Structure 1
């Protein structure tokens, strides 16, 4: 897997995380929300997440 230096990631249990460097290995990610009207960072989600 090659790291994408444009996407930082510290979620070590994600299939696409490269833990020794805290980067993502995907070429792009999808960001979404679980709220109707997101107003704070906690309302956003990485919809590309997959459990290792």
Structure 2
């Protein structure tokens, strides 16, 4: 079950980031905004992804 939770968090972060990029533009959205909207910690974000790119 833990793997599903990890996959869900990563997928949610990707979809949230894509929505924010569409709405505000890639250069105007930072990692802080993505983690805030996704409700995950910055450490968790960087555990899944090395950067917002």
- TM-score, structure 2 normalization: 0.21
Q: Highest CA radius of gyration, 1 or 2?
A: 1
Q: Which has the higher helix share?
A: 2
- TM-score, structure 1 normalization: 0.21
